[in-house]
Amino acid sequence: MTGVRRIAEAFLLGAACVPLLFSCAGREAVRPISPAGAAGAADFAGGSDASGGSVHTVFPGTPLGENARAAMEDAKSGDPAKIRALLPYFATEDNERLVRFVATLDARAVGPLLSALDDPDPGIAETAAGLLGELRAREAVPKLTDYLTSGRPRRYAAAWALGEIKDPGSIPVLIASPSDGNPGVVKASTRARRMMRPTGRPDSASL
């Protein structure tokens, strides 16, 4: 399974899931990013893109809109502001295509994504966290840890990202996550711990 597909499917944990870049049952209701046959797709039958124009219903394989394509071209320059400007399009376009593109930027994307973790828009911070996980950005671990323990909306995404990065230093905060009280955070943290353990050796906190 490719990294992109893994992101799209990793958190389809139950009927309450909203299909997003990485969705998780129990978290706050959010805008669907990649409706792929799960509940919530019908809610994204219309709307507007980041520039206010009309958008199509999004599903994997949908061609990107003109504005999103232009934003991708701009981001190829490596300009941090141009890279960050891509993030709103994850709410209106085929996120699999966008994730693949951000992966090609590699280390150039890390700085803008770290900055975006502080964005007041929960959707932007959520998307940034997931992309940092996909990039396996170890330098993001401190800020992702802060995000996970902040009480902010959609903080489950920080746990998802920590599981992808697999830095042993994040294990204590993941083990402590059951006290969070948010089911999405608990599920995402449990998954993250499982991602870190050697195959076939469950950690005691997830039993």
> Measured between alpha carbons, how far is 50 from 67 in angstroms, rounded to an integer?
8
User: Among residues of the chain, what percentage have pLDDT more than 70?
Assistant: 66
Higher pLDDT, 100 or 4: 100
Higher pLDDT, 24 or 134: 134
Whether residue 130 contacts residue 98, with contact meaning beta carbons closer than 8 Å, is answered with no
Q: Which residues, in sequence order, are CB contacts of 80 under 8 Å at separation 6+?
A: 111, 112, 115
Phi/psi for 122 (5° steps) reads -60, -35
* DSSP assignment of 191-207: HHHHHHSPTT---GGG-
Two tokens at 139?
A: 């330098």
pLDDT digits (tens, 9 = 90+) for 69-92: 999 999 999 999 999 999 999 998
Res 197: pLDDT: 83
Task: Write down all domains in the chain, each with its CATH number in brackets.
Answer: 3-206 (1.25.10)
pLDDT digits (tens, 9 = 90+) for 109-156: 999 999 999 999 999 999 999 999 999 999 999 999 999 999 999 999
Whether residue 145 contacts residue 117, with contact meaning beta carbons closer than 8 Å, is answered with no
Res 3: pLDDT: 44
Res 94: pLDDT: 85
Whether residue 131 contacts residue 99, with contact meaning beta carbons closer than 8 Å, is answered with yes
